[in-house]
Amino acid sequence: MYGFIDRAGTLIIDTKYEDAEGFSQGLAPVKTSEGRGYINMSDEWVIHPRPEFNLAFSFSEDLAAVETDDGWGYIDGTGAWVIEPQDEVAWARASHFSEGLAGVKIINRWGYIDRTGAVVIEPRFIRVHEFSEGVAAVETEDGMGYINTSGDWMVEPVLVGTSTFSEGMAAVTDGNLWGYVDREANWVIKPQFIWAGRFSEGLAPFLSGDAFGYIDREGTVVISPIYENTEPFQDGLGRVMESHGEDSIKHGYIDTSGAWVWEPTS
């Protein structure tokens, strides 16, 4: 069962939900035996559970993607449909809005819609990421690259692996190791990591050997790679995972100095 904790690790909403995602714009999607709905941070229903919601995503730019038997659509903070569900022939999948656009899968290709549901970037991609800082990583048969909000190439699809731009940089791989490029695809941090994630609050997770740590914007290791896994920082906290014996992984939160804020628990 799922519940919610605060920054100190104190349980503030009991573990009573069958499924849950994090809070965004003051609301969190949760699942009960009656269906999926949205609660506020006081654990009050804002959008009561609806059995017709097969899947419900977090809110982004005041809209949330929801799947019903009729297909994918988008609701507002009251639960009203802003973009009515589109059947699988129209949209096989939908994602979060970011910078006014959301990726949707139409038959077997991804494109982007605007807030009215109109297709503004035709579905021609194998895979897409959300827009960030005016660009989005996309994949074609030729490789991965970056497009702008008009669908024009900013970086041609010649890359092997990409990630979302954040704080002016994106983690990409040369096919062997990961580093970071700017919007012109110039190397800012040369490829040197087994894997690298997006920057957030001046730090980015990276993989060295079989352990994860964090680097700064110069590529300097500031939190040593000692974790089973790491996630980008948010509000001064980074979620990390530690191994505690065979088949036992515990989760905790550290601050940007690497000090524990919430000690690992299962």
Give the count of beta carbons closer than 10 Å to the beta carbon of residue 41: 13
Below-50 pLDDT ranges, the chain? none
Q: What is the pLDDT of residues 77-133, one digit of tens each?
A: 999 999 999 987 789 999 999 999 999 999 899 999 999 999 999 999 999 999 999
Instruction: List Cβ neighbours of 86 (8 Å cut-off, separation of 6 or more).
Output: 71, 72, 73, 117
Spatial distance between the Cα atoms of 83 and 13, rounded to a whole number of angstroms: 31
Domain boundaries, the chain: 1-124
Q: What is the pLDDT of residue 90?
A: 83
Q: How many angstroms separate the CA atoms of 65 and 102, rounded?
A: 9
Residue 133's pLDDT is what?
95
Q: For residue 9, what pLDDT is reported?
A: 80
The dihedral region occupied by 90, where left means phi > 0, alpha psi between -120 and 50, and beta the remainder, is alpha
First vs last C-alpha separation in the chain: 13
The reported pLDDT for the residue numbered 266 is 67
Residues 1-124, CATH architecture: 7 Propeller (2.130)
Residue 248's pLDDT is 75
Mean per-residue pLDDT of the chain: 95
pLDDT tens-digit readout, 110-119: 999 999 999 9
| CA dist 101 → 80, 169, 170 (Å) | 19, 21, 19
**Quick one: tokens of 125?**
């991609």
pLDDT for 53: 98
Rounded-to-integer distance, Cα 199 and Cα 171, Å: 9
3-state SS, the chain, equals CEEEECCCCCEEEEEEECEECCCECCEEEEEECCEEEEECCCCCEEEEEECCCCEECCCECCEEEEEECCEEEEECCCCCEEEEEECCCCCCEEEEEECCEEEEEECCEEEEECCCCCEEEEEEECEECCCECCEEEEEECCEEEEEECCCCEEEEEEECECCCCECCEEEEECCCCEEEECCCCCEEEEEEECEECCCECCEEEEEECCEEEEECCCCCEEEEEEECEECCCECCEEEEEEECCCCCEEEEEECCCCCEEEEEEC
Q: What is the pLDDT of residue 247?
A: 66
Kindly state the tokens that stand for 251.
């989760």
Kindly report the pTM of this predicted structure: 0.88
